[in-house]
Amino acid sequence: MEMVSTAAMVAIAIDGYGDGNRLQLRNPPVPEPQTGEVRIRVRAAGVGVWDAMKRTGVFEVEHPTFPMILGAECAGTIDAIGTGGDGRLRDGDAVYTYFTGPQGAYAQHVCVKSDFVALKPRNLSFVESAAVPVDGITAHQALVDELRVSAGESVLIAGASGGVGTLAVQIATKALARTSLRRPAKPISIMYAILAQPRSLNTPPVTS
């Protein structure tokens, strides 16, 4: 039997496509996790250009329903678990996630398929963790899934100081690739700290 919550939460939603003035505070019911889902009490939600593109209708949503809650990434704690879980996640776990669905992360609670949820890194705050999923997946797909970067290969990362770039630098370095940076906007000292090249690599990064 599907559980229906009578409690309300605070969320930011749009009642139609348009500019930022469409964003409104709403009080929808707290969602209940269905089979294979967990419910996350959101501590921080990421905000990206994709949210604006969804808000304006550039990213088309199949069979959109309004009000629509935006937000594709967040970090928080699990406060409910649906049936059919694999036991990997537990109530109270600190997690972060990227997902797509009818309800987004601009809310106090969100239900997400457990396959899209991972434990939050202990050395990152909730705010920092909420900014990782979309950029991290983008960098991982490019370097690992598509390019399959491996030890000894050379990688040029343009825009190395951006969200995707800083994570791409770390992924390439972990793969023991020779990582070159193209005109990082942040101070070079910060980029060297992010790069943290393993001792097995003696070639310094190219910064011009």
The per-residue pLDDT for range 104-152, each reduced to its tens digit, is 999 999 999 999 999 999 999 999 999 999 999 999 999 999 999 888 8
Q: Which domain holds residue 190?
A: 133-195
Q: Return the percentage of the chain with pLDDT > 90, whole number.
A: 60
| pLDDT (0 to 100) of residue 20 | 93
- Domains in the chain, number: 2
Length of the chain: 208
Low-confidence winner among 61-75, 125-139, 149-163 (lowest mean pLDDT): 149-163
Are 24 and 118 members of one domain?
A: yes
> How does pLDDT run across 1-35, given as a tens digit for each residue?
344 556 899 999 999 999 999 999 999 999 999 99
Average pLDDT for residues 150-171, to the nearest whole number? 85
Q: What is the CATH number of the domain that holds 83?
A: 3.90.180.10
Q: Which whole-number Å values give the CA distances from 170 to 5, 183, 194, in the listed order?
A: 42, 17, 7
Is residue 55, in this structure, part of any structural domain at all?
yes
Is residue 206, in this structure, part of any structural domain at all?
no
Nearest to 183 by CA among 156, 160, 154: 160
Residues forming a β-bridge with 95: 76, 119
Are 87 and 30 members of one domain?
A: yes
The residue out of 130, 146, 167 marking a domain boundary is 130
Are 139 and 116 members of one domain?
A: no
Are 168 and 118 members of one domain?
A: no
Is residue 2, in this structure, part of any structural domain at all?
no
Average pLDDT, the chain: 84
Is residue 1, in this structure, part of any structural domain at all?
no
Q: How far apart are the first and last CA of the chain?
A: 61
Are 103 and 175 members of one domain?
A: no
Is residue 204, in this structure, part of any structural domain at all?
no
| pLDDT (0 to 100) of residue 66 | 93
Is residue 208, in this structure, part of any structural domain at all?
no
The residue out of 73, 103, 130 marking a domain boundary is 130
Q: Helix 163-174 vs helix 133-140: angle between axes, to the nearest 10 degrees? A: 50
The residue out of 130, 158, 184 marking a domain boundary is 130
| pLDDT (0 to 100) of residue 165 | 86
Q: In which band, very low, low, confident or very high, does the pLDDT at 207 lie, cut at 50, 70 and 90?
A: very low
Look at residue 99 and tell me whether its pLDDT is greater than 70.
yes
Q: How far apart are CA 168 and CA 181, in angstroms?
A: 10
Is residue 6, in this structure, part of any structural domain at all?
no
Can you tell me which residue has the tokens 């770390």?
170
CB proximity list for 21: less than 8 A, separation 6 or greater: none
Q: Return the percentage of the chain with pLDDT > 70, whole number.
A: 82
| pLDDT (0 to 100) of residue 6 | 60
| pLDDT (0 to 100) of residue 91 | 96
Are 111 and 137 members of one domain?
A: no
Q: What is the CATH number of the domain that holds 150?
A: 3.40.50.720
Q: In which band, very low, low, confident or very high, does the pLDDT at 195 lie, cut at 50, 70 and 90?
A: low
Look at residue 47 and tell me whether its pLDDT is greater than 90.
yes
